[in-house]
Chain A
Amino acid sequence: MPMFDSKIQQQLKDILKNMKDEVYIINFTQEIECPMCRETRQFAEEIGSLNDKLNVRVYNFVTDEEQTEKYKIDKIPAIVLLDKDEVDCGIRFYGLPGGYEINSFLGAIIELSGIRELLPDDVIKRIQGINRDVHIQVFVGLGCPHCPAAVSTAHRLAMESGRIKADMIDASNFVPLSQKYNVTGVPKIVINDKFELMGAHPMTTFLDVIDRLEEINLNLD
C-alpha cells in the first residue's frame, strides 16, 4: 500500500515543483528491517519518485560500512540530505519524518535545493563567526505542531555553517536516547550534550546558546 494517498501525493508534487537544484536523499536501513526502518525507506523512495530533482540512495547500516562511517550514522532509521554537489551539510532525520514533521523534511529539501529566505546580516555574521563544532539534537513528537519550527531552525543553521550538525530525532522511536537526555516534553533541543532548550525558539536563541559554548570553551568530544 502506498504511503501517501493521491491527495497528499499531489500536494507534495506541487510543493516539490519549487525545487531549484537537485537534492540527494540518503536512507539507512538494514536487511531485516525494523517496522519503522521499512516505513522510512518506503517514505524516502516514494517521496523521491515525486520529482526528478530528487535522488534516493538506500544503504544497509550494517553491511555498507563505508557509507555508515562516512556519514557517521549511529542509529537507524536515518535520512541524510545532500545538496546538488553531494555536499553533506549535517542534516539528519532519525526516525520517520511523518505527522507534522513532514513539513520540516520538505522545508529542508526546498532550502537545500537553493530556495532560501534571506537571513538578516547580523545573524549571518554571527553564524559565520562560529569556530567550533556544534551538534544540535532536536527531539520531537510527530503529533507536535510546534516541533517542525525547531527542527527547521536547527537545519537552517547547519546549512549556513560547516561547523554545525543538526538532527531531528523522533523521541518515541529512540526511547533509550530520549531517556538519556531526560526527554519528557517536546521539542527538546540539546546542544553539544551540555545545553538544553525547551520549545521552539528563534534562531537568535540558538546562537546565544552557541555563544555560551564559546564562553566556557566547550568542544565536542
Chain B
Amino acid sequence: MDFNLSTASFISEKNFTPVDTEKVYDVVIVGGGPAGLTAAVYCMRKGVSTAIIVKSIGGQVAETSSVENYMGYRYINGVELVEKFREQVQQFSIAYDEGHEVETVEDSDIKKVMLADGRIVKGKTLIIASGKSWKKLGIPGEQRLTGKGVAYCTICDAPLFAGKKVVVVGGGNSGVEAAVDLAGVASEVVVIQLLGELTADKILQDKLMAFHNVSFIYSSSVKEVFGDDRVTGIMIEDVTTNEVSEVKTDGLFVEIGLDPNSGFVKDIVEMNKYGEIVVDCACRTSREGVFAAGDVTTVPFKQIIIAGGEGAKAALSACEYLMNKGG
C-alpha cells in the first residue's frame, strides 16, 4: 500500500491570511500552479501586498504522477513537488484563497477580480497564471455522461474500469499514457486517433505496444457518446471517407490535450486563436498593469520549470510597474 502524504497541508504554523475584499492589493495573482506560486514568493520577498486566488493548488502538476525534469530532483511525484511549492509560499503571510472560481475581471485603474461566490478582490496589478485544463470533445452526450463513463482523469478513474472495455480518444503523450494505465486493468482498450499515426514519444508508444489488449483506430473522430445512465457506446467518423460507425464501450477517456483557462479575461487582454494570452518577453499583456505567466500564455513550451520562471518574471515586472507608477 502506497501513501501519498501531503505533509505541508498539516503544518501548524500557517501564515496565510484570508483575502480582504475591502483592501486594494498591490498585486492579485490568479492561479496556484507553478507560475502563480512562484510569482507569490517573488512578490512577498519584494514586500508588495499580495493576494493569491487558487482554484486547486498545483494545477496540472498535482495530477502528474512523476516529474523527472524539474531541476534539483531527479525524480519527484507531482503531489510532493506541489507540497514543496506550497511550503515555500506558506512561510509568508500572503492573502490566500483556495477553492473558488474567478468569473470575470473588470479592468479600470483598479483591477477587480470577480469571484463566482460574489466577492470582489481588488489590485493595482494583476498576474494571470490560471494554466490549462483538459480539453473537452464538445459532442452530444459528453457533458451528460461525464462521471458516468466519460472521464478526464485516468489516475482517478482507471481502477473503476477493471475488466471492462474502454476507448481512449487521443494519440499524443497524454492519450498513450492513459492507454498504458488502462491496459493494465481494462479487458480491452481502443485508442482513437484523429491523425494517421500516434504522436506520442517513442518511449511511451513502446510501453503501450507491449500490451496485447490494445487496438487502434486511426484517422477518425468521435461524433457522439451514447448511453442512458452510463456510457454504452460511441459513434465515430472516418475523416478520410466520412464513413460513420459505432463502437461499443463502457468508458470514454478524453485525452486530446489542453485548453487555456482564459475565458474570464476574454474581453480584457489580447489572445491568440487558441485562447492563449499574448505576452511579451517581460510577461506584459496588451493591458497596462495586467501580466500573465505560464501555460495560459503564448510562451512556447509548457513545462513546470518554464512556468515557474515565467511566474518569477511576471512578479518582477509587476513590481517594477508599481515602482514606476510610484505606487
The answer to whether A and B assemble together is: yes
Contact A146 B10 (CB under 8 A): no
A67-75, A78-86, A93-101, A211-219: which lies at the B interface? Answer: A93-101
B201 within 8 A of A: no
Scan B161-179; emit 1 where CB is below 8 A from any A CB, else 0. Answer: 1100000000000000000
CB-CB < 8 A to A204: which residues of B?
A: 117
B71 within 8 A of A: no
Q: How far is the CA of A182 from the CA of B250 in the complex (A)?
A: 12
CB-CB < 8 A to A149: which residues of B?
A: 99
B62 within 8 A of A: yes
Tell me the smallest distance from the CB of B88 to a CB of chain A, in Å: 18
Contact B2 A98 (CB under 8 A): yes
B63 within 8 A of A: yes
CB-CB < 8 A to A143: which residues of B?
A: 155-156, 158-159
- Among A106, A141, A145, contact of B63 (Cβ-Cβ < 8 Å): A145
Contact B99 A202 (CB under 8 A): yes
A6-14, A24-32, A154-162: which lies at the B interface? Answer: A6-14
- Among A103, A107, A186, A198, contact of B146 (Cβ-Cβ < 8 Å): A198
Contact B157 A186 (CB under 8 A): yes
Contact A103 B157 (CB under 8 A): no
A15 within 8 A of B: yes
- Among B12, B159, B231, contact of A18 (Cβ-Cβ < 8 Å): B12
B241 within 8 A of A: no
CB-CB < 8 A to B148: which residues of A?
A: 182, 184-185
Scan A114-136; emit 1 where CB is below 8 A from any B CB, else 0. Answer: 01000000000000000000000
Scan B1-40; emit 1 where CB is below 8 A from any A CB, else 0. Answer: 1111111011010000000000000000000000000000
- Among A3, A182, A185, contact of B156 (Cβ-Cβ < 8 Å): A185
Contact A18 B62 (CB under 8 A): no
Contact B3 A4 (CB under 8 A): yes
- Knowing A185-B147, A185-B160, the reply to whether A145 touches B79 (Cβ < 8 A) is yes
CB-CB < 8 A to A186: which residues of B?
A: 156-157, 160
Closest chain B residue, CB of each to CB of A178: B160
Task: Identify which of A8, A141, A149, A183 gathers the most chain B CB atoms within 10 Å of its CB.
Answer: A141
Contact B4 A99 (CB under 8 A): yes
Task: Identify which of A39, A99, A103, A182 gathers the most chain B CB atoms within 10 Å of its CB.
Answer: A103
CB-CB < 8 A to A183: which residues of B?
A: 160
Tell me the smallest distance from the CB of A13 to a CB of chain B, in Å: 11
22 residue pairs of the A-B complex, CB under 8 angstroms, read A3-B1, A12-B5, A15-B10, A18-B10, A18-B12, A98-B2, A98-B3, A103-B5, A143-B155, A144-B153, A144-B156, A145-B63, A172-B159, A183-B160, A184-B147, A184-B148, A184-B160, A184-B231, A185-B148, A185-B149, A186-B157, A200-B56
User: Knowing that A39-B1, A145-B79, A185-B157 are A-B contacts, what are 16 other residue pairs whose CB atoms are under 8 Å apart, sorted by A's residue number?
Assistant: A8-B3, A15-B10, A99-B3, A103-B6, A141-B157, A141-B159, A144-B156, A145-B4, A172-B159, A172-B160, A172-B162, A183-B160, A184-B148, A185-B153, A186-B156, A202-B99
